[in-house]
Structure 1
Amino acid sequence: SLTHTSRLSPSPLNLTFTPLNWNIAQTVTVSAVDDGLYQGLTSGLITHTTTSTDPDYSGIATAGVTVSILDDEVQPSVQFSTATSAADENSGPVNLTLTLAPNPSTQDVTVSYAVTGTATAGVDFSLSGGTAIIRAGDTMTNIILAVLDDFYNEPDEVVTVTLSAPGNASLGTPVTRTHTILDDDTPGVSVTQTGGSTDVAEGGPTDTYQVVLTSRPTGPVTVTVTTDAQTGASPGSLTFDGLTWNTVQTVTVSAVDDAVYESNHTGQITHTVTSTDSDYHGIAAAGVTVNITDNESPPQLAVDDVTVDEAAGTAAVTVTLTGQSSFPASVEYTVGGGTATGGGVDYSAVNGSLSWLAGETGGKSFTITVVDDALDEPDETANVSLSNPTGAAISDGSGLLTITDNDLPPMLVITKTVSTASTPARHGETVTYTIVVANQSATDAPDVSVVDNLPAGVSGTNLNQTVYISASQRLTFTLTASVAGSAPYGGSITNIASFSHVSGSGQDSAVFTVEPDTAPPAIPTLITPTGGIALANLRPTFDWDDVVDGETGVVSYTLTLTHTGVSTGYTVTESTFTPAADLAEGDYTWTVQAFDAAGNGGPSSAEGSFRLSIPKYIFLPIVIK
């Protein structure tokens, strides 16, 4: 049996000899294992072990064979995996990888390295020169470059590692690894507002914001805090150095409590940076916009009341702005309404607006033209109204212009006359009334009401007019009517005309007489009882025809009843009569006479006759069996 080292491959591995072939030589073929490892010129060993049933052969010593092995791999070279690399200084350790090519070695490969470059050891990185080892069978190892984050703003720096003096290998390429340390420290001032904004109130809460540097300075850095007229800040400056550069400092912000209305507004805080570090000196730092809640109310606008005599010609109406503001203000005004009439009657006004500059206060005026008329009238007013304010609020937007009258009351006199076609006037004839209203003063009289309501007995259209009577003017009104049929005969008809005005009133009357009634009524015609009729009723009813009187009309009748030569008169208003008491039995005659409203009595009627007799009866009992 054959045994061998790992780099040999003999065949066959067993040889058998028998009594028959004991003297026939057998061949063993030996080859080297192609393992892919560089080993140089080496040797291997094949040993033999003999076993047999023949005790003379079993375990007998057999010489071994030493085999020289010529390696077919070339000697490997050691080099860096890449010639350059770069990373931020805060990226952490960097692996500088060494590789062995084209094949591993059965021996440890060593190589020396040296460190140079612009970066400073112990400040920018941590690595010293030394020896790197690639263990037998491996094809790589790493040199660890520890990069230090120094927080200084500086140029990018370079670390160069160079290989030399390889052991069990040759130097390949690249033998130099250049690693660039990229600086990640940018000089700057970080300003962070608490809650994302800075909100303060005049006379109320404050707020804060934070300031810190973004890199380590080489000298002290001072941040000066500058406020505007709206804000205050404490402290007024902040100082940072190489030890405290990353320690956050707080600025407290307040609002200036002024007396000016500004509504909710903003203020600005700026920062100025000074330092012996040129990277920081003059560097820009963000400002802070401060949101400020105002504690003042908007300015107030109020319009004055004005009283002027109508002879003044103009009236100046003043609108006053009270309270200072940082905004301009304006308001519109209108004039109208009230008891005065615009459009040039009592006054003339043009609607418009008034304005104030920012910070301006006090009164602004506009003019109303006042008309001096010749009317006696009450004092009159016009309303002044404010609307649509900007930059202010209206506290009193209703003003009153009062125009006092300077005219004496007018002196009005009324006279009235009447004329008729006949005297006295006859029914149906025309009646003409003449009314004259005279203004006996130098003052006009507007809105004079003239009224003449025709009385009973006169037919026509009433007079009811409102007129304007100028100074010294006379107005005449003619009222044509007729004497109504209902006018009383012989009566007087009085008619009153009147005027009324704010300055007073007056009246006058005119009288005419109606013709008297001289015609008597007609003769009544008797109906019953007549013709000597016998009546058994001691209270008979007397009837006769109604009598028509064409003038004043029948107002009564006189019934004359005669019995036994004695006449008794009864006055009634109807054409019928029933005595209130029983009449005596016997023969009677009667007549009727009509009387009109003028007292005229007509002729008596023809005589009527009748008899009153009550029958006499004897009542006897009748017995029936």
Structure 2
Amino acid sequence: MSETGTTETFTVVLNIQPASDVVISVTSADTDEATVSASSLTFTTGNWDTAQTITVTGVDETDDDGDVSSTITLAVVDASSDDNFDPLANQTVTVTTVDDDEPSGGGGGGGGGGGPPPPPPVRMIVTQSNMATYVSEDETTDTFTVALDTEPTANVLVLVSGGDITELTLAPVALIFTSTDWNIPQTVTVTGVDDALIDGIRVTYITISVFASVSADEYRAAPSISILADTYDNDVAGYTVVESGGSTVVSEDGDTDSFTVVLDELPSSNVVFSVVSQDQEEGLVSPSTLTFTPSNWDMPQTVVVTGVNDGLDDGDQDFLIVVSVVDNQSDSAFTALSDTPVSAVNLDNDDESEEEVEEEVVEELPACVVGFGSLSESEGSTVMSESGSSDSFTFALGSEPGSNVVVSVVSSDLSEAVVSASTLTFTPSNWDTPQTVVVTGVNDGLSDGDQAVDVTLSAAGFDPVVVGVVNADND
């Protein structure tokens, strides 16, 4: 420009779409020589790829100072911009204001007008393939080229550096331009680096700059250029459930089976699973939660399934166990994963033909000639909880006794369940009237999952009757 008020322009545009606004400040280092049309530019997610123009105007002053070069600096305003753009280096534009003032005085025939004009500003030219740089953790590559815009008076050494060697590598990292090849683009190859993290798309800043101390004088002030490179992740969150023997089969005799759970990829934080039996009258699981950390993520953890004796001749029963990620306690990369159902079978141990044999044996006992007695559970099962809820069952003798019969009622685990009566007395007059036993859950303060407890009814001379009850955990 000149001091007569002429203007020049340059444009600014982003190389990649931001996640939020990017504000760039525009500052003239010498407003006595040049002013800019705007002090800042704002790029949004909608206009990021539309170039915005800055007009530079020469300023008139009265000094005969010759042509003066000054710089205009463009800088990302960190507090107002997408965080991914904050580390970008400032960029400068060199402008020259041509003097329009004649020298004062004279004497002796012309005293020069401020010396020769300064050399024109020089810069590097960086061109990204396809206007952007994308690689992946599968070690794919992309390229960009570097060239000079003006023939140098000596060699120019250009350095290429990237901020994160865990995401990409650069080759070569140094380029030398001479007076014979300054305008021939030299290629830099960007290669993605594989890691074990589920980290999504990672953005790396690549800086191209002149190594001033060993380069031609006119290029020592050439502005650095920064570009963005995206590294796409190849790690996908997942987990695997493996049943021992390919299936899960337990029995009412207390036989157990198991399955394992393991993560497929390294998480960045803990991943917690809940394990729930959907029919606790048929099967219980232990433990009820599994926690995987970044240090044990690839070590399978075992879940043991135990059959529950319900005292019913109900045949073999199918039930489901559901393994699911606990979203609010887990790495967000795993929270979208689907639940995994595990199909299990509880084999029945109640056989009608065996009961008939037992009845024949009971006939030889001194009382209850047709059997010890009859049991009836409310709702067909007995389930309480550690919150103090209770359930009940009734019991009556199977036949009239010759004298009083005292039935003992005992809980196998008083830390999980207590009974309302320790004995039931039946006489020849009330032997067939059901008497009620209330079972109440006990809070043990432990996160030990749902617990199975046996309540045993026994009397002298008779085979005991065992009632399987469940105390649901509230921890």
TM-score > 0.5, shorter chain as reference: no
Give the shorter-chain TM-score range: 0.3 to 0.5
Higher relative contact order (CA 8 A, sep 6+): 2
TM-score normalised according to structure 2 size: 0.43
Looking at secondary structure, tell me which structure has more helix per residue. Answer: 2
Looking at secondary structure, tell me which structure has more strand per residue. Answer: 1
